[in-house]
Structure 1
């Protein structure tokens, strides 16, 4: 069973749970490809900064407006197909993650996205915002964002500045994460962080609306603490039509006690948690709690697929490895998470049939239905 704190942590937070030895020896230099997308569209990507001058960043060392980086993923058609291949993440951000994880410098340069760069996304009928785990970065949900884009969605992955392990801006600044690892009052810290993240998501929608890229059907997808942010943003803003929480405890938000009146899916690797139990008792919209048997807290991220080739098994203590990657094969975890995520947003944003959400399937015996409310049809 994951601890309360584990349910807020992303990959960077996981690294802080133990003191690692010296970086493991590289296990190879061959390219590591992210899983191929399964939708009918090739995918392109574009990143840009967003500034919210109406808010003062509570985490910055000097007072100033809240600044974010956003990465769009979208179907690449015609003039938006792009020519260059997108890097997995910037070299300076990669260096921060590599040091944190205890792997050789340059390891993340091996990862290949198979995605093109472009600057002119088309407006789509659906939009999905992605919020990363505490101490992680937007890069760690690249494969899932690209998968959703391949099925026709516009996807916007947000780097929550000062929360993310590192955020690089176009002017060259690299802002490192600075949130406390052991605050005196976790409840107050949860409320602060979740509130800031929820406001970040609303800011990004406002920015996309100015670019005429915000359609009426908007979804939220969050991993770990990003799941709590997704729930809180839905509670605050009715522009968000559906939300999906990937193994995130619902901390810092009243949603466990108020529920939501719109579709919300919990897809978790921990069997249960008290905030999820309270949410199930209060939720009054369509809802599901699906459990990924054998999964770990990071099974829904890209890291599960390349952790072993990069040598993390040698760097991370066995109990930490078990907690965050579980026993399920990474390719099975990826396939199950992607299929149910695509089904959920296809159903509630695009009106597509989603029989996968009706009950257990022979295709994915790893997915256990722990709780259901409402029908998918």
Structure 2
């Protein structure tokens, strides 16, 4: 699977974390000056009015075998939920376990910080807090290939604070580490297959099946599921997860709207088109006629409300937590690359605007035209430059 390049050498560590294939640890880059890692990172505070709770579900789909483990006759999934909570007090949930941090950094060839570094990241969500009263739309999140859904925590927390239930799916054996009850860790079995013909198309079809199964089971598996308005469901994802959003919408009409954040698309949209709302949100690799032409192809087949937004200065990981964690990993920001705090702010703002428009029917001037307050965001295909 082709991986989009990063903007500059200073983000070499983030590029490695986002690499598509599992590989042996890479030697240090000679052209990247060493940086002393900072202390633990606290994710940006959510911008919505609700406190945020989080919990994890472990689901087993006995109707199909695991696509990556030939010895498993059922598909196991971990689903992390973020949601408006009834209280603000309580211990904050961990970002990931030390073992998950170790496997993620080793899988990306990262040796610039202790392997448990990412487990010290501080979140804003209260573990196992009871949900707030009300009815809230549901947003499914799917991460990039090799990465756990925890790398989208900042976005998930912000959406929950704004009044959404978020279901983040860890697609087992497609990331470096997924932890199940009892401490059992499922590692990346799919990594060895990423150069196979049709790999991307196969992955997104499998992820679409994962999403449909999660939507089937949430009502019976989560005690708080009564707060979910199942008539208002959307999906968003980064990289392979964004491509999976297309596949899920083609497969499952319950997904009313979708967002692809910087992902090459693999699922083919039917010739009749996809009429439900969709938004592309990406880096300059995705300008019309750019390095990745899959958005050009699919833009013509999106027949409903649609937007194609490109962030100048963004790179492939700008839509995840990884730039926010760069200091803790000893990564020197590169000149010209969108600052981590700003990329997080823009991602949160435009994703929330899309969801507020299509799941809450609230008009969003931010999505109507380029904004002088957000000059990094270009409206493609006709106005990709600054306003």
Cα distance between partner residues in 2 of 1:110 and 1:45 = 17
Q: Say which of 136, 140, 149 aligns to 1:129.
A: 140
1:317 counterpart residue number: none
Is residue 105 of structure 2 the alignment partner of residue 90 of structure 1? no
Shift of the alpha carbon at 1:164? 1.6
1:301 counterpart residue number: 320
Change (3 A) 1:17 1:184: closer
SS in 2 for 1:96: helix
Cα distance between partner residues in 1 of 2:336 and 2:101 = 24
1:206 counterpart residue number: 216
Is residue 381 of structure 2 the alignment partner of residue 371 of structure 1? yes
2:249 counterpart residue number: 234
Cα distance between partner residues in 1 of 2:99 and 2:208 = 27
SS in 1 for 2:295: helix
SS in 2 for 1:171: helix
SS in 2 for 1:239: coil
Contact 2:22 2:146 in 1 (8 A): no
Shift of the alpha carbon at 1:12? 4.5
Is residue 166 of structure 2 the alignment partner of residue 159 of structure 1? no
Change (3 A) 1:280 1:329: same
Cα distance between partner residues in 2 of 1:234 and 1:82 = 37
Is residue 368 of structure 2 the alignment partner of residue 349 of structure 1? no
2:58 counterpart residue number: 49
Alignment of 1:97-108 (within 5 A): 97-101=104-108, 102=110, 103-108=113-118
Cα distance between partner residues in 1 of 2:96 and 2:286 = 32
Number of equivalenced pairs? 356
Cα distance between partner residues in 1 of 2:20 and 2:369 = 32
Cα distance between partner residues in 1 of 2:336 and 2:153 = 21
Q: Say which of 26, 40, 48 aligns to 1:20.
A: 26
1:218 counterpart residue number: 233
Change (3 A) 1:244 1:256: farther
2:11 counterpart residue number: none
Cα RMSD over matched residues? 2.6
Change (3 A) 1:88 1:360: same
Instruction: Choose 264-273 or 216-225, whichever is displaced more.
Output: 264-273
Change (3 A) 1:163 1:257: farther
Cα distance between partner residues in 2 of 1:309 and 1:99 = 15
SS in 1 for 2:264: coil
1:113 counterpart residue number: 123
Is residue 207 of structure 2 the alignment partner of residue 197 of structure 1? yes
Cα distance between partner residues in 1 of 2:143 and 2:164 = 18
SS in 2 for 1:136: coil
Q: Say which of 256, 274, 278 aligns to 2:293.
A: 274
Cα distance between partner residues in 2 of 1:69 and 1:16 = 21
Cα distance between partner residues in 1 of 2:336 and 2:180 = 34
1:375 counterpart residue number: none
Cα distance between partner residues in 1 of 2:166 and 2:44 = 17
Contact 2:275 2:303 in 1 (8 A): yes
Instruction: Choose 51-60 or 172-181, whichever is displaced more.
Output: 172-181
Contact 2:39 2:328 in 1 (8 A): no
Contact 1:198 1:230 in 2 (8 A): yes
Cα distance between partner residues in 2 of 1:30 and 1:308 = 8
For each residue in 1:151-170, what CA deviation from the matched residue of structure 2 results, as whole angstroms up to 9, or x when unmatched?
00000101000102110001
Unpaired runs of 5+ residues, structure 1, are 314-320, 373-377
SS in 1 for 2:205: helix
Shift of the alpha carbon at 1:182? 5.6
SS in 1 for 2:317: coil
Shift of the alpha carbon at 1:237? 0.9
Is residue 69 of structure 2 the alignment partner of residue 60 of structure 1? yes
Instruction: Choose 21-30 or 217-226, whichever is displaced more.
Output: 21-30
Shift of the alpha carbon at 1:249? 0.7
SS in 2 for 1:290: strand
Is residue 4 of structure 2 the alignment partner of residue 6 of structure 1? yes
Contact 1:258 1:279 in 2 (8 A): no
SS in 1 for 2:286: coil
